Amino acid sequence: MATKHEQIIQHIISLSVGSKISVRQIAKDLNVSDGTAYRAIKEAENQGIVSTIERVGTIRIERKKKENIEQLTFAEIVNIIDGQVLGGSDGLHKTLSKFVIGAMQLDAMMRYTQANSLLIVGNRYKAHELALNAGAAVLITGGFDTEEHIKKLADEQKLPIISTSYDSYTVAAMINRAIYDQLIKKEIVFVGDIATSFEASHFLRVKDTIAKWYELNEKSSHSRFPVVDNKLRVVGMVSSKDIVGKDREIAIERVMSKNPQVVQARTSLASVAHTMVWEGIELVPVVDQAHHLQGVVSRQDVLKAMQQIQRQPQVGETIDDIITSNLEESSDDESVFESKVIPQMTNQLGTLSNGVFTSLITEASNRLLMKVKKADITIENLTVYFTKPVQIDSMLLIKPRLLDVGRLYAKIDVEVFNENQLVGKGLILAQLINR
């Protein structure tokens, strides 16, 4: 049976997009405490199915698909720009396709203002009215208000009209940044994106016998299976080493390994890869917050996803992407790398930031291991020494050197030079993720 928390989440999902949600109403409808309702609404907000807006309340919004994550709802815009909703709050769940800055004559402005767009403009009442009639929402900059009949029109059209104290340029920059941040998130792969669904997963129940394991083993590409109780909660794992040499009529619960490693759908690909390497396991169950089985993720799933990521064009650049693209092999020695210190890599003093320095030696070490062992690395221990500050526009030479390498671990010593002077060192202990 589902917990009260899960029942509230399912109730919220069943509500139509645009519905208003309150703690008190949820508690009354489902006969739960205000605290339980509040925690469930916060979880729904984390899942992207509701949005809370000051002076408006909490509304049900449509969860964005991964391929459309760069699009924002008007509700998210309100939160980004600290806005105040003047009218049309029933349309806050809608998604905007583009925004237009109204810094031109009225007729020219309207040529660019389309349905589902957002017009950013000052206290030009006629522009507000024409935009709403064209199916566009309105964002009024400079903290200005609008006329009452325009607010009523916004309510009728179910299109938000929002006011913010920021100027047009600042607002456009904030929305651009939000879209850019979402594009970066689009490239982050989570377990839920690659896992085998519950319906397609093989699992055992606690009362099954070892004979059932042999049946599943013939159907599956792996030999490790989650074990669930009568409520489908994961309580153990069974692999070939647990059942070898044992009578086939013995119950699974007597031979399973208890308290197994599990992950959730929002666990990152990097995290589950580290868990698999660290624990030496080929398959991990995917569970929800109540520990119910949602699916499984295998080592093959992780490796396939990592290969696909490397083949995809990057849409949003993170600092790591900038560092990686700026690191090149030396023309004199393939095991030595060069990198120019560009503005994005510096701190407020104009010198190389400590975090970027760490990323440089980590990336150089990773590339060296790819050549030697055809393996990625996950850092277990990292010691860094800084000896001199590095100025902007400096050309660094990064020299990673293998001290020891085995099947699972590698030790790497890294020296960093600027104009033949040693400016820093690093000592890395890393686990290998073999391809």
Phi, psi of 202 (to 5 degrees): -100, 130
Give the pLDDT score at 64: 55
pLDDT in tens, the chain (435 residues): 567 887 888 888 888 888 889 889 998 888 889 888 888 888 888 777 888 877 678 888 876 544 444 567 888 889 888 899 999 998 988 888 788 888 778 888 888 888 888 999 999 999 999 999 999 999 999 999 999 999 999 999 999 999 999 988 788 888 877 776 666 565 567 888 888 888 889 999 999 999 999 999 888 888 899 999 988 999 999 998 999 889 999 999 999 999 899 999 888 888 888 888 788 888 999 998 888 999 999 988 888 777 666 555 444 556 777 788 889 988 778 789 999 998 888 887 788 888 889 999 999 998 998 888 877 778 889 999 988 899 988 999 999 999 998 888 899 999 999 989 999 999 999 888 765
Residue 281 DSSP SS3: coil
Phi, psi (deg, nearest 5) at residue 272: -70, -30
The answer regarding whether domain 4-60 maps to CATH 2.30.40.10 reads: no
The residue behind tokens 């308290």 is 259
Amino acid of residue 201:
S
Please name the residues in contact with 326: beta carbons below 8 A apart, sequence gap of 6 or more. 339, 340, 342, 345
| Strand pairing report for 50-53 and 117-121 | unpaired
Architecture of domain 66-187: 3-Layer(aba) Sandwich (3.40)
For residues 367 and 430, the answer to whether their CB atoms sit within 8 Å is no
Helix residue spans in 122-263 (DSSP H): 125-133, 148-157, 168-187, 191-194, 210-219, 240-243
Task: Report the pLDDT value the prediction gives residue 76, as an integer from 0 to 100.
Answer: 85
- Cα→Cα distances 38→30, 31, 208, 291, 406, Å: 13, 13, 39, 21, 51
Per the CB < 8 A criterion, the answer to whether 257 and 236 are in contact is yes
What are the respective helix, strand and coil percentages of the chain, to the nearest 5? 40, 30, 35
Count CA atoms closer than 13 A to 47's CA, side-chain side: 21
pLDDT of residue 317: 58
Taking the C-alpha atoms of residue 404 and residue 219, their distance in angstroms, rounded to an integer, is 41
Give the sign of the dihedral formed by CA 229, CA 235, CA 238, CA 242.
negative
Contact 144, 77 (CB under 8 A): no
Backbone dihedral angles phi then psi of residue 119, each to the nearest 5 degrees: -95, 120
Question: What number of residues does the chain have?
Answer: 435
Phi-psi region of 352 (alpha: psi -120 to 50; beta: other; left: phi over 0): beta
For residues 81 and 164, give the distance between their C-alpha atoms in angstroms, rounded to a whole number: 7
Single-letter code of the amino acid located at 99: F
Residue 65 burial (CB count, 10 A): 8
Residue located via tokens 């919220």: 12
Return the CATH fold of 192-307: CBS-domain (3.10.580)
Place of tokens 């925004």: 99
Please tell me the pTM assigned to this model: 0.47
Give me the pLDDT at residue 125, please: 92
How many other CB atoms sit within 10 Å of the CB of residue 285?
Answer: 25
In CATH, what class is 317-434?
Answer: alpha beta
CA dist 108 and 301 (Å) reads 52
Domain ranges in the chain are: 4-60, 66-187, 192-307, 317-434
Are the C-beta atoms of residues 427 and 411 closer than 8 Å to each other? yes
- Cβ burial of 302 (10 Å; 0-12, 13-18, 19+) is buried
Rounded Cα–Cα distance for residues 167 and 307 (Å) = 44
Contact 297, 263 (CB under 8 A): yes
